[in-house]
Amino acid sequence: MPLSSKNISTQWKQAMQGEYERLQAEADMQQNHLFRLDNIASKLEYDFAHAKNDDVLYEALHIDQRMRAYRYELRVRTRRLEDCQMRLAELEMFRDTSAELHKGEAS
């Protein structure tokens, strides 16, 4: 198949759509992780507060360490999600710009 601007444009659109779908799936996965981690961290915070009230220092320290680890992972996942959302927005802008340019070429 000879290379033409239409073939290249079609291939580019397909590649861009594939990247968009991959990023959307990754963003969805990160959002699910965030929800799960937030629930776990909230439960640990509750457990931590009760352990402190019961003067169970060792258990409280262990819970605090786990809670901090989950909160750290939550921050990392949030950054990944924000990065995915930013790249998705860039792809959407690029797609819209490409569509407008393609309409201009067709005229």
* The pLDDT of residue 90 is above 80: yes
Q: In 61-98, which positions are buried (b, 16+ CB within 10 angstroms) versus exposed (e)?
A: eebbeebeebbeebeebbebbeebeebbeebeeeeeee
> Could you write out the DSSP letters of every residue in 11-61?
HHHHHHHHHHHHHHHHHHHHHHHHHHHHHHHHHHHHHHHHHHHTT-HHHHH
pLDDT in tens, 1-48: 455 666 767 777 777 778 778 878 887 887 887 788 778 778 877 877
Total-model pTM: 0.52
The pLDDT of residue 8 is 64
The pLDDT of residue 52 is 62
- What's the half-sphere exposure (Cβ side, CA atoms, 13 Å) at 97? 7
The pLDDT of residue 31 is 80
Mean pLDDT of all residues in 81-107: 76
CA distances from 49 to 37, 39, 59, 61 (A): 18, 16, 11, 11
pLDDT in tens, 42-80: 887 787 777 666 666 677 777 778 778 877 887 888 888
* The pLDDT of residue 84 is above 60: yes
What residue ranges do the domains of the chain occupy? 29-99
